[in-house]
Copies of this chain bind each other. A is one copy, B any other.
Amino acid sequence: MIDFSKLDKTIHEKARLGIMTLLASRANPWPFQDLKVELEMSDGNLITHIRTLEQAGYLTGEKFTGDGRPQTLYTLTAAGRKAFVDYLAILEQILNLGK
């Protein structure tokens, strides 16, 4: 049967699940502003969840200046990608059981 206790608590949260999904959905890094618009979050809320994921080692941010307005780009780490794949594996089990 499914082991729900293995569901990564850091990822299994609407906001952070959104961030992880977007970062995993393409190879290019995501600018802070794009995440904010796409997920419809406030600065404070978004940065808090980003920090949580960062402290978990799931993503990194790099700040760029000099070329237009400053912006910070976020990317999944290898650990983040693995954790997300593991998470998706459980989602798949739930989907298969649910229908």
Contacts and interface: CB of A to CB of B under 8 A. Distances in A.
The SS class assigned to the A binding surface is helix
Interface string A18-47: 100100110000000000001110000000
Number of copies of this kind of chain in the complex: 2
Interface residues of A, number: 27
A40 B5 CA distance: 9
Nearest to A7: B14
A17 B39 CA distance: 23
Interface of A: 1-2, 4-5, 7, 9, 12, 14-15, 17-18, 21, 24-25, 38-40, 84-85, 88, 91-92, 94-95, 97-99
Given A2-B18, A12-B14, 13 more contacts: A1-B38, A4-B39, A5-B40, A7-B17, A9-B14, A17-B94, A24-B98, A25-B98, A84-B98, A85-B98, A85-B99, A91-B91, A91-B94
